[in-house]
């Protein structure tokens, strides 16, 4: 039996826990679940109140299509329109759930005397803001991942927990789709468990800007897992997903995310597919409106 709060449904874990060297080959694409099948169990979930545990099938996608166990993904993904009419919504992590750049700026100031504010990021590509190469930018960000600034925890975006709690108790199924890298997979799961415990059914990693490993486009992840809506602050992902027919709520907190603006030449997408939201209250209202429209469309077909 797995640890409370998380569950490996692909294989009986007891058989694998007897042998630390053994691994669950049914979930070989999933490092996190694979770790659950070892004898060295990580201590996630300790802060999860029993009343809020819903045994989420949290797992990570390696991004490599050659090793992804499609049957595992399909069995764990609820269809878009389920029997109880739940709408599957994908939620980004950085700048939507947590204030990543705010914390990264503090690290850069302390470590390199680089002084930037959130308002300086006219684009969410750090190399362009910092005036360095992509390689150097990646190195700095990975140093940040190993720093106390990152380990101490990134503060949450206000209002997210309350809104997501209401949404999860309503007609929405929430999953995380993040561009974050595999190297911070465990730290990300711990952070989600600490701040958003019991709210997300699954977590997927795109592994973008990584030092190693393949990456996976957000639109491909959303389509594969049946997410009809993505909440994300990055207009690049918004346009990419809208082009794939996925609805997007572009999260521009208080209108103060400089990078989170659609470019003027982005007129090719269907404007109904991308709505700008400035706080989590607006997210709730837009989702309610969207769910109603999708239901009406489904009823007419």
Residues with catalytic annotation? 92, 94
Between 59 and 99, CB nearer to Mg ion: 99
- Chosen residue from 57, 92, 252, 284 binding Mg ion by CB under 5 A: 92
Note whether 202 binds Mg ion by CB under 5 A. Answer: no
Site string for Mg ion, 95-124 (x = CB under 5 A): x-----------------------------
* Tally of residues, the chain: 301
Between 92 and 173, CB nearer to Mg ion: 92
Q: Which residues contact 273 (CB under 8 A, 6 or more apart)?
A: 242, 245, 246, 247, 248
- Tell me the Ramachandran region of residue 211: left when phi exceeds 0, alpha when psi lies from -120 to 50, beta otherwise: alpha
Q: Binding segment for Mg ion among 39-47, 57-65, 89-97, 209-217 (CB under 5 A)?
A: 89-97
* Count of residues touching Mg ion (by CB under 5 A): 4
Q: Binding segment for Mg ion among 10-18, 39-47, 75-83, 92-100 (CB under 5 A)?
A: 92-100
- Chosen residue from 57, 233, 252, 284 binding Mg ion by CB under 5 A: 233
Give the alpha-carbon dihedral of 239, 245, 246, 248, to 10 degrees.
40
Q: How many CA atoms lie within 13 A of 96 on its CB side?
A: 25
Q: Measured between alpha carbons, how far is 26 from 119 in angstroms, rounded to an integer? A: 46
Note whether 252 binds Mg ion by CB under 5 A. Answer: no
Q: Measured between alpha carbons, how far is 8 from 33 in angstroms, rounded to an integer? A: 6
Between 95 and 252, CB nearer to Mg ion: 95
């Amino acid at each position: 039996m797995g640890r409370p709060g998380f569950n490996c449904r692909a294989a009986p874990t007891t058989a694998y826990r007897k042998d630390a060297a053994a691994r669950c080959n049914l979930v070989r694409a999933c490092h996190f679940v694979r770790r659950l099948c070892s004898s060295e169990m990580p201590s996630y979930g300790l802060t999860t109140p029993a009343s809020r545990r819903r045994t989420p099938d949290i797992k990570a996608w390696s991004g490599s299509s050659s090793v992804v166990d499609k049957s595992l993904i399909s069995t764990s993904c609820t269809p878009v329109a389920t029997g109880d009419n739940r709408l599957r919504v994908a939620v980004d992590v950085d700048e939507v759930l947590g204030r990543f750049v705010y914390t990264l700026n503090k690290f850069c100031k302390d470590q390199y005397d680089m002084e930037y504010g959130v308002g300086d990021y006219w684009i969410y590509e750090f190399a362009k803001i910092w005036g360095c190469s992509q390689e150097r930018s990646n190195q700095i960000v990975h140093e940040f991942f190993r720093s106390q600034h990152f380990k101490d925890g990134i503060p949450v975006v206000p209002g997210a927990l309350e809104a997501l709690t209401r949404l999860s108790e309503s007609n929405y199924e929430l999953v995380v789709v993040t561009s974050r890298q595999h190297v911070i997979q465990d730290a990300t799961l711990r952070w989600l468990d600490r701040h958003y415990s019991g709210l997300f059914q699954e977590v997927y990693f795109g592994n973008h800007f990584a030092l190693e490993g393949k990456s996976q486009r957000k639109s491909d992840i959303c389509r594969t897992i049946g997410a009809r809506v993505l909440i994300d602050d990055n207009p690049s992902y918004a346009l990419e997903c809208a082009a794939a027919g996925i609805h997007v709520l572009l999260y521009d907190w208080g209108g103060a995310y400089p990078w989170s603006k659609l470019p003027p030449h982005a007129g090719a997408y269907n404007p109904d597919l991308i709505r700008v939201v400035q706080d989590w209250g607006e997210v709730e209202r837009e989702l309610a409106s969207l769910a109603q429209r999708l239901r009406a469309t489904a009823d007419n077909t």
